[in-house]
């Protein structure tokens, strides 16, 4: 695990560098895309490089980490919509080359199995952009998640729903109670994990992720088992290392 401590703007550049290196050597790369606020500066930087020097995503594909259950297709906080707004619409990544778990499926377990198959059929994820929740969740694998878990339905914790209420006009009751998420076992199969965390509220999760024992109580700690992880943190998020 490589840990880089740098100012926030530099972290976005470093993450974008990793994506750019991959796309230059492998234009048809499979990108794992995270939502949440942590990767937004990375997507800004990628959009800038696309506009200014033609970094191309035209042959790439993307898979989302997770999705809320039950949000209408046109809801702005549906993760498939968020990634369209934050990245896809700003670069030349074809919209139909990006997919997420189908949180509106009538048969959710079947949708989870189909999503696992789609990732495998694409040859797996080359580079997975990641954030971490204040309680150590990765994707939506909340504390207690099996370290070998696959894409499945999960109940969101009160903490995560409160953390995410800011995206729903501060109304925690508007935050869905369930989600579909890649499992930790699914995430670990990506060939390179690039995690971005900033702010003092992430310090405990980063400490457990980097230095804690590997435990389902801090799901991010399972990243210690992966052979190629880049952890990009600012001073505040690194304050307990
Ligand atoms: C969200 C997402 C995760 C994200 C994490 C941190 O709920 N499901 O993929 O990494 O929580 O979010 P943020 O970056 O906004 O702090």
ipTM (interface pTM): 0.94
In the residue annotation, 135 being an active-site residue is answered as yes
Select which of 137, 163, 207, 234 is catalytic: 137
Q: What is the dihedral of CA 86, 128, 115, 164, to 10 degrees?
A: -50
Helix spans in the chain (H): 8-25, 40-53, 79-86, 108-121, 158-164, 184-188, 203-211
d(CA 208, CA 125): 25
From ligand 1's centre to the CA of 175, what distance in Å?
A: 13
d(CA 194, CA 15): 7
Select which of 45, 66, 86, 126 is catalytic: 66
How remote is the C-alpha of 215 from its chain's centroid? 20
Q: What is the pLDDT of residues 177-230, one digit of tens each?
A: 999 999 999 999 999 999 999 999 999 999 999 999 999 999 999 999 999 999
**Token pair recorded at residue 230:** 């880049």
Q: Is 169 left (phi over 0), alpha (psi -120 to 50) or beta?
A: left
From ligand 1's centre to the CA of 131, what distance in Å?
A: 5
Predicted confidence band of residue 172 (pLDDT cuts 50, 70, 90): very high
- Domain residues of the chain, as ranges? 2-233
Q: Among residues of the chain, what percentage have pLDDT more than 90?
A: 99
**Token pair recorded at residue 170:** 């501060």
User: Considering the domain 2-233, what is its CATH architecture?
Assistant: 3-Layer(aba) Sandwich (3.40)
In the residue annotation, 66 being an active-site residue is answered as yes
Q: What is the pLDDT of residues 142-152, one digit of tens each?
A: 999 999 999 99
Cβ burial, residue 77 (10 Å; 0-12/13-18/19+): middle
Select which of 135, 192, 207, 234 is catalytic: 135
Contact residues of ligand 1, CB 6 A cut-off: 34-38, 65-66, 131-133, 139-140, 160, 164
């Amino acid at each position: 695990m490589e840990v880089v401590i740098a100012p926030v703007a530099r972290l976005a550049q470093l993450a974008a560098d990793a994506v750019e290196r991959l796309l230059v050597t492998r234009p048809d790369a499979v990108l794992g895309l995270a939502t949440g606020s942590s990767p937004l500066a990375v997507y800004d930087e990628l959009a800038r490089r696309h506009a200014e020097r033609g970094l191309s995503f035209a042959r790439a594909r993307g898979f989302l980490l997770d999705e809320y259950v039950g949000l209408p297709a046109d809801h702005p906080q549906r993760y498939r919509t968020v990634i369209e707004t934050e990245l896809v619409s700003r670069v030349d990544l074809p919209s139909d080359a990006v997919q997420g778990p189908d949180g509106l499926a009538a048969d959710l377990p079947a949708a989870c199995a189909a999503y696992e198959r789609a990732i495998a059929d694409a040859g797996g994820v080359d580079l997975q952009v990641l954030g971490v929740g204040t309680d150590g969740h990765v994707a939506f694998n909340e504390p207690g998640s099996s370290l070998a878990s696959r894409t499945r339905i999960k109940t969101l914790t009160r903490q995560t729903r409160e953390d995410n209420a800011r995206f729903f006009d501060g109304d925690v009751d508007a935050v869905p109670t369930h989600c579909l998420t890649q499992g930790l076992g699914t995430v670990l199969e990506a060939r390179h994990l690039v995690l971005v965390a900033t702010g003092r509220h992430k310090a405990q999760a980063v400490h457990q992720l980097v230095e804690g024992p590997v435990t389902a109580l801090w799901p991010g700690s399972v990243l210690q088992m992966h052979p190629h992880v880049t952890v990009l943190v600012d001073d505040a998020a690194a304050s307990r290392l």
